[in-house]
Amino acid sequence: MHRIHPVNEETCAPFRGLPVLVVLKDGTQHVGMLSGIQNGQLVLNDDGSSPSVAAKRKARARNSKKPQRTKAKPDAGVNALAPPFGYGPVLGGRLAFDLTDVTLLFLLL
């Protein structure tokens, strides 16, 4: 393990896309792929596919003008025993932590 210190945009930039361990002030630990620092938050597992807040608002405004139609949805037929491979990121979804809550950040090698 390699400690990344201080935790800021400058020191985190070279490690984007690499696995890290985040330790918060309350002692909780999180493992994920380092995506960077955005708006004062340390972000993990962000693949860039989630739209921005502005894009969500524009989409909501466009959709509110259209009449709402309801369709019967087919049964998904989910198998609880199916392996989770290929269904999203291996380390979980997007996580964001306030920089003030991050105590330690380690690069996992």
Domain boundaries, the chain: 2-65+89-107
The residues that bridge with 19 in the sheet, in sequence order, are 33
CATH class assigned to 2-65+89-107: mainly beta
Burial 30-42 (b: 16+ CB within 10 A, else e): bebbbbebeeebb
pLDDT tens for the chain, residues 1 to 109:
999 999 999 999 999 999 999 999 999 999 999 999 999 999 999 987 655 444 555 566 666 655 566 666 665 555 554 444 444 445 689 999 999 999 999 999 8
Give me the pLDDT at residue 59, please.
62
Alpha helices per DSSP H over the chain: 9-12, 53-65
The verdict on pTM exceeding 0.85 is no
